[in-house]
Amino acid sequence: MNEFFSCLTVVDTHRDVCRNIVSLRESRNLFDDLSGDPAEQALAQQVEIAVKPLQYHSPTPVIHRPFEEAEWFNAIGWPFQHWQSSRYSDGSFGVWYGADSVVATVYETACHWYRGVLLDAEGYAGEAVAIERRVYTVGCDALILDPRPCVGEFPALVHKTDYTFTQQVGARLRREGHPGLVTPSARYAEGLNYVVFNPATLSNPRVNCLLTYRLKGEHIFVETWPGVTWRKIAVADL
């Protein structure tokens, strides 16, 4: 492990990164089951806003609006509050993942959806299924580590299924307080992934686009608009 860390370089990063998450194309009113009266639903929403503790405090509180908090939580805050095992975490701490392009996020998330969700789902029999997603553009400003020169010597960095080495790397980075790293994508050869351990380095989330993934047979069809295919990905390549 020391040999690996000795070959790392650093990158002063100030750029937008793409974050791809599960999200409905059309938001659902969570209070429509309480009352059919739109005025009463609006009142319930106002009460929730008034009593709910803020997850995010706007740097410009004079013009702060509730949806700013929702955008920040969806695009940035969620993985830091809901820990799970991943390439750079054993599940004992949160890690935020983004990529340098929408295409790279699609290959990464399509793989995790198919192999990590569908194939593990009880009762799944290979039938056609779809999921909706939202891609955010998020600002990243940090001095992050760059292991790209080390990939040839440490191919475990981009292994598709074995996360043993990278989880050890992630544990040390978090323990020592490093903000993150940039690494080649294991799913999309032309892409880069940004792995962030400190949410303070992320800011200004904006909606980039909405996507739909449809699994049909041995392919995942990615749509930017329902019924219009943008990408076709063979599950055998994931």
Q: Are 165 and 87 in contact (CB under 8 A)?
A: no
The pTM for the full model equals 0.81
In the chain, where the domains are located: 2-237
Q: What is the pLDDT along the chain (238 residues), one digit of tens a residue?
A: 888 999 899 999 999 999 999 986 555 444 455 566 666 555 555 554 455 555 545 554 444 454 567 788 899 999 999 999 999 999 999 999 999 999 999 999 999 998 877 777 666 666 788 999 999 999 999 999 999 999 999 999 999 999 999 999 999 999 999 999 999 999 999 999 999 999 999 999 999 999 999 999 899 999 998 889 999 999 988 8
Q: Three-state SS for 214?
A: strand
Among 196, 76, 96, which residue's Cα sits nearest to residue 145? Answer: 196
Strand ranges for the chain from DSSP E? 9-22, 85-86, 89-90, 96-99, 129-146, 180-184, 192-196, 202-216, 219-225, 228-234
Distances from the Cα of 23 to the Cα of 14, 15, 17, angstroms: 27, 24, 18
